[in-house]
Structure formats: structure tokens, C-alpha cells
């Protein structure tokens, strides 16, 4: 696992970053009741309480337990409950039964968080470099869980017949629809992709390597809800010619007719979000679509999905902080395309690339080596971050990954085509 080892003079900055990350997680969960925080809405999602505890377990296990002499575990039962998938850490509670952990209570989990936070801040000035690097990794890890926390809460609330809003928000003023998609053309070239070694990166982002790009064009914005509604109206979900075989089988088996959280009421499409159910904004980027849906839309539109190399080669010219990201607890939603969603933020963008290791990739030793490498099978790469991704978390080389049918994240579509 690649991390940045902080010089002694930067320990105070790392302490501040750690404290801020911990505080934001708790602020995101603050509106939840104990019942809200305990329920698991599907196997892919985890209860909010579990996210809060698991991120504490990560710091307690890999930093405090392993690098602070004499540190006593907060509760000897918690490693079994809150280990996620680290085989090297032993037996653990089944992922699809995390909703059965009704105890410890939310209050007890928050107490666990406070204890771990205080112990780590106390130990940080005296930690060895390797442990300091793990604190940096843990901050990025918790940011990943902040996004999962929000998307899992969204899915949970969508299952409640009352469709409650996590954060009420004022009605939005409609904006003008964007013009037609423009195309950024690129001639055939050999480019370098992957992390360049400057700053933090997860192990799957490297090694940096050269790759040949054929002549192509990539869209200058993502696909909008209005454009997606045209796909639906044209029978996109009922026409097998646009779909991969696995995708068509998924559509039929799950009776998929629109993006997740969309419903048609009196001929008007609505969507459910963290601010409750609202009319679909036709100018906003479509989101909560699977890889199968993204690929089918691209075929219908006479295009394709970009490769992750094409996406990264275009994205390096843009500022990773330019988009809509998570800055604080409060309503999150992609901005309208007329606000200029670039290559970062707003919605994760499916690529046509399989999540596989780069040439020369090697997993780190020990349990943290299980972080990414073991998942490099059967998943597709997404790029760019979303409105639920903490600001500053992503960069051009960042590789997210999900299975092709999954769509509870803020996932959208950017098109590409051959030249």
C-alpha cells in the first residue's frame, strides 16, 4: 500500500486532518436515530453504525494495536464485528448480516469512536514513520466510507414508504438545458497513466506506465437526465439490441425500466434523493445507473464508453477540485450540466475498462495488502468522484471500481467514440 510518510514537522497538520475527517463522519450520521443507523437495506450496503465503527476499528487495529506498546483494545468483541474483509485479521461477522448488530448501540459506537480518536491523537507524535503512513491511509479510507455512508443511507431511506429526507432542501429553480455534447478529439499517441509518485495514492493507481491510445474523441460533459429520458421514451430498456447479454438478463430479471430511485408519476419522472422525492432535473447529470445501463445508452447514442486511459489522458488538464464534492454535512446532488461538470465531481463516470492490475503491480505485505488487489476481478473502473466524494479525495489517477449491476452509488455516463 502506497502512503505518504509525514515528516515530523507535518504531524500537527496530519492530526488536524485526522480530527476533521473523524468529525465529518459523525456529522453525516448526526440526523440518524439508533434504528436508522442499525438497519441494513441490502447486502451491498452497510448500516451507518457499522461504517462508524469499522473506520474506528481500522485505526485501532493497524495503528494503535500494532504500533502503540501496551494499548488495550476498547472492546475485545469489536474486531469480530467490525472487520470488513481482512482475512489476515481472522474470523468476522458475515457482511450480509451486519444489520443484525443491534448492539452495541449507536451511542456506544460513538463512544468507541471518541476513545479511538483520543488515543490516536495522543499517540501520533511518537509514532514510527510506518504507522504515520497508516494514519494517512486511514484518513483516505474513512473518506471512502463517508461516501458509502451517504449512499447507503440514501438506499435505506428509499426503502421507507414515507421516503424521509435526511436533509430537507429548498426547491430548485429549473435551469436551461445544456446544448449538444461537444467532443474533445485526440490523435493516436503513447501516453503515461497512473500515479506519478507525488503525494498519496492507493496501490491500485500504479505503477505509472505507458499505453497506446488510438485516435478518439471524448465527450466534454456527462449525459443528462433529459437525454436519458429520451432513451427511455425510445424503448431503450425494452430493446435488446443495445444491451450486453448479461445486462439484458439483468434488466429482465430485475424488471429495470429507469435509473435507480426514478419513478413516473402522472407522466412526470421523479427521483428520490437525500433531500426527499423531487422532480427529475433534466439538465442534471444522470446518476444511479449501472455499467450495463451506461453501456446500453452509449450503444443507443452511437458511441461507447471511454477507456480509463482515455479518461485519464483527458482529465489531467482539469483541476481535481473543480466539481461538486462533499464539503460538509448537508444535501448532496450533482450540479446541472450547464454549471459545467468537468471531469471531476458530480457523478462517478463508468469506463469501458475492467478493474485489473497495472503492469508491475504488487500488493503490499500484511493485511493492508488486501485493500485493493484482491478485488481485481469482475469489476469495472469508474473515474472522477461524485457529489458524495469528500473534496480533495480524488485525482486523475484515482480508480474506483464496482460490479456491473451496481448502481446505488452516484454513477453516471460520459461518452466516447472512435475517430
CA atoms within 13 A on the CB side of 79: 15
pLDDT at position 206, please? Answer: 94
Whether 134 and 202 share a structural domain = no
Is residue 61 situated within a structural domain? yes
Same domain, residue pair 24 and 141: yes
Q: Is 1 domain-assigned?
A: no
pLDDT in tens, 15-60: 999 999 999 999 999 999 999 999 999 999 999 999 999 999 999 9
**Confidence class of residue 7 from pLDDT cuts 50, 70 and 90?**
very low
Q: Taking a C-beta distance cutoff of 8 angstroms, is the pair 354, 380 a contact?
A: yes
Report whether pLDDT(287) > 70.
yes
State the pLDDT at residue 336: 86
Residue 370 confidence (pLDDT): 67
Examine the domain organization and report whether 207 and 138 are in the same domain. Answer: no
Q: Which domain holds residue 299?
A: 183-418
Residues 139, 235 within the same domain: no
168, with CB counted inside 10 A (0-12, 13-18, 19+), is exposed
What CATH number has the domain bearing residue 403? 3.90.1580.10
Indicate the number of domains in the chain.
2
- The whole-number pLDDT of residue 340 equals 57
Q: Is the dihedral of CA 200, 201, 207, 212 positive or negative?
A: negative
Ranking 216-230, 355-369, 403-417 by mean pLDDT, the lowest is: 355-369
Residues pairing with 383 in the sheet: 349
Residue 148 placed within a domain: yes
In this structure, the answer to whether residues 33 and 105 fall within a common structural domain is yes
Residue carrying the nine cell digits 448488530: 101
pLDDT in tens, 165-221: 999 888 777 777 888 999 999 999 999 999 988 889 999 999 999 999 999 999 999
Residue 166 lies in a domain: no
Note whether 139 and 18 are within 8 A (CB).
Answer: yes
Q: Which three cell numbers stand for residue 336?
A: 446541472
| Cα distance between residue 139 and residue 141, in whole Å | 5
The answer to whether position 400 is within a domain reads yes
Q: What is the tens place of the pLDDT at every residue in 111-146?
A: 999 999 999 999 999 999 999 999 999 999 999 999
Q: Say yes or no: 114 and 210 in one domain.
A: no
Task: Calculate what percentage of the chain has a pLDDT beyond 70.
Answer: 97
Pair (148, 188) in one structural domain: no
Q: Does pLDDT of 313 surpass 60?
A: yes
Do residues 253 and 151 both lie within one domain? no
CA within 13 Å, CB half, 150? 29
| Domain presence at residue 174 | no
Average pLDDT, the chain: 93
Q: Are residues 89 and 197 in the same domain?
A: no
Phi and psi at 19, nearest 5°, equal -65, -40
Question: Is residue 164 a part of any domain in this protein?
Answer: no
pLDDT, tens digit, 9 for 90 and up, residues 204-217: 999 999 999 999 99
How would you label 331-366 residue by residue, b for 16+ Cβ within 10 Å and e otherwise?
ebbbbbbeeebbbbbbbbbbbbbebeebeebebbee
Q: 313 lies in a domain?
A: yes
Give pLDDT, residue 373: 82
Which class for 146: exposed (0-12), middle (13-18), buried (19 or more C-beta within 10 A)? buried
Is the domain of 261 the same as that of 222? Answer: yes
Query: How many CA atoms within 13 Å lie on the side-chain side of 340?
Result: 5
Compute the average pLDDT of residues 248-271. 96
pLDDT at 5: 40
Q: What percent of the chain has a predicted confidence (pLDDT) above 90? A: 85
Where b means 16+ CB within 10 Å and e means fewer, 249-286 reads: ebbeeeebebbbbbeeeeeebbbbbbbbeeebbbbbbb
Amino acid at each position: 500500500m502506497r502512503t505518504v510518510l509525514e515528516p515530523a514537522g507535518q504531524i500537527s497538520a496530519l492530526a488536524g486532518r485526522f480530527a476533521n475527517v473523524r468529525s465529518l463522519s459523525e456529522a453525516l450520521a448526526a440526523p440518524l436515530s439508533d434504528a436508522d443507523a442499525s438497519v441494513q437495506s441490502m447486502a451491498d450496503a452497510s448500516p451507518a453504525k457499522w461504517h462508524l465503527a469499522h473506520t474506528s476499528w481500522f485505526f485501532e487495529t493497524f495503528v494503535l494495536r500494532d504500533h502503540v506498546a501496551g494499548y488495550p483494545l476498547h472492546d475485545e468483541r469489536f474486531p469480530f464485528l467490525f472487520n470488513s474483509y481482512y482475512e489476515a485479521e481472522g474470523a468476522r461477522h458475515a457482511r450480509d448480516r451486519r444489520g443484525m448488530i443491534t448492539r452495541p448501540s449507536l451511542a456506544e459506537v460513538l463512544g468507541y469512536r471518541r476513545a479511538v480518536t483520543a488515543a490516536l491523537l495522543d499517540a501520533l507524535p511518537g509514532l514510527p514513520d510506518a504507522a504515520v503512513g497508516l494514519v494517512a491511509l486511514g484518513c483516505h479510507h474513512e473518506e471512502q466510507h463517508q461516501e458509502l455512508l451517504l449512499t447507503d443511507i440514501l438506499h435505506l431511506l428509499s426503502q421507507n414508504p414515507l421516503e424521509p429526507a435526511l436533509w430537507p432542501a429548498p426547491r430548485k429553480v429549473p435551469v436551461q438545458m445544456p446544448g449538444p455534447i461537444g467532443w474533445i478529439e485526440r490523435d493516436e499517441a503513447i501516453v503515461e497513466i497512473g500515479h506519478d509518485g507525488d503525494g498519496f495514492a492507493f496501490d491500485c493507481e500504479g505503477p505509472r506506465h505507458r499505453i497506446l491510445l488510438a485516435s478518439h474523441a471524448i465527450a466534454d460533459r456527462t449525459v443528462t437526465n433529459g437525454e436519458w429520458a429520451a432513451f427511455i421514451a425510445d424503448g431503450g430498456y425494452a430493446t435488446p439490441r443495445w444491451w450486453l447479454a448479461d445486462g439484458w438478463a439483468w434488466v429482465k430479471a430485475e424488471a429495470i425500466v429507469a435509473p435507480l430511485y426514478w419513478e413516473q408519476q402522472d407522466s412526470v419522472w421523479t427521483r428520490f434523493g437525500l433531500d426527499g422525492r423531487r422532480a427529475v432535473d433534466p439538465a442534471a447529470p444522470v446518476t444511479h445507473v449501472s455499467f450495463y445501463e451506461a453501456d446500453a445508452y452509449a450503444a443507443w447514442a452511437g458511441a461507447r464508453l471511454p477507456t480509463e486511459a482515455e479518461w485519464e489522458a483527458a482529465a489531467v488538464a482539469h483541476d481535481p477540485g473543480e466539481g461538486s464534492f462533499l464539503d460538509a454535512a448537508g444535501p448532496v446532488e450533482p450540479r446541472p450540466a450547464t454549471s459545467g461538470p468537468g471531469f471531476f465531481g458530480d457523478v462517478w463516470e463508468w469506463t469501458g475498462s475492467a478493474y485489473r492490475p497495472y503492469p508491475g503491480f504488487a500488493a503490499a505485505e500484511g493485511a493492508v495488502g488486501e485493500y485493493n488487489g484482491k478485488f481485481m476481478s469482475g469489476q469495472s473502473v469508474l473515474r472522477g468522484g461524485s457529489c458524495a466524494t469528500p473534496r480533495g479525495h480524488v485525482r486523475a489517477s484515482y480508480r474506483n471500481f464496482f460490479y456491473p449491476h451496481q448502481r446505488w452509488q452516484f454513477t453516471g455516463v460520459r461518452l466516447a467514440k472512435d475517430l
